[in-house]
């Protein structure tokens, strides 16, 4: 099961797959202006979706390792307003954060005990395997959203 979960994570994030662009592919080559453009007042931009996806990779990793909250590099949770005085350097930093969180999650999934995949996560009605499949689906959801946002020019 570990191999299949890793394949799902990678196909949703940065490996070739049948469905078209994955999350990393959807942001490849995006310039700062496109990343920061809002589709409407009060709506998230691509940049915010990138940080949001990084955060949820962190959350899933934390649930797998049963770590306490508080080690994500940004204060807060879920969505962060971007750009906040940010430029190209900050955009690239946040893309690197997404990539680092993906690699950290992969490492935890790769070493997760096979006997625990079907167990329910503490206090929830879903298994650890469902949690990992869910974060892969989350990447694909936002990849599609980003593809749409790029076309709203």
CA distance 49 to 26: 11
Residue 73, φ and ψ in degrees, nearest 5: -65, -10
Please state the rounded mean pLDDT for residues 36-49: 92
pLDDT (average), residues 60-89: 85
* Spans of all domains in the chain: 2-151
Which pLDDT score is estimated for 86?
A: 74
Q: Residues 62, 104: contact at Cβ < 8 Å?
A: no
What three-state secondary structure class fits 120?
Answer: strand
Which residues fall within 8 angstroms of residue 109, CB to CB, at 6 or more apart? 2, 5, 6, 9, 64, 132
Superfamily of domain 2-151: dinb family like domain (1.20.120.450)
pLDDT per position as a tens digit, 83-99: 766 799 999 999 999 99
pLDDT at 122 over 90: no
With cut-offs at 50, 70 and 90, classify the pLDDT of residue 124.
confident
State the pLDDT at residue 74. Answer: 84
Residue 35 burial (10 A CB sphere; 0-12, 13-18, 19+):
buried
């Amino acid at each position: 099961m570990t191999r299949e979960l890793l394949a799902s994570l990678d196909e949703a994030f940065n490996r070739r797959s049948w469905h078209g662009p994955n999350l990393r592919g959807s942001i490849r080559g995006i310039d700062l202006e496109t990343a920061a453009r809002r589709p409407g007042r009060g709506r998230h931009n691509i940049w915010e979706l990138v940080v949001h996806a990084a955060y949820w990779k962190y959350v899933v990793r934390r649930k797998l390792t049963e770590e306490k909250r508080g080690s994500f590099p940004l204060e807060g949770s879920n969505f962060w307003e971007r750009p906040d005085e940010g430029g190209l350097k900050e955009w690239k930093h946040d893309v690197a954060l997404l990539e680092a969180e993906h690699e950290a999650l992969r490492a935890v999934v790769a070493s997760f005990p096979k006997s625990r995949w079907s167990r329910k996560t503490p206090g929830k009605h879903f298994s650890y395997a469902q949690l990992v499949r869910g974060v892969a689906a989350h990447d694909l959801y936002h990849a599609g959203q980003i593809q749409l946002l790029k076309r709203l020019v």
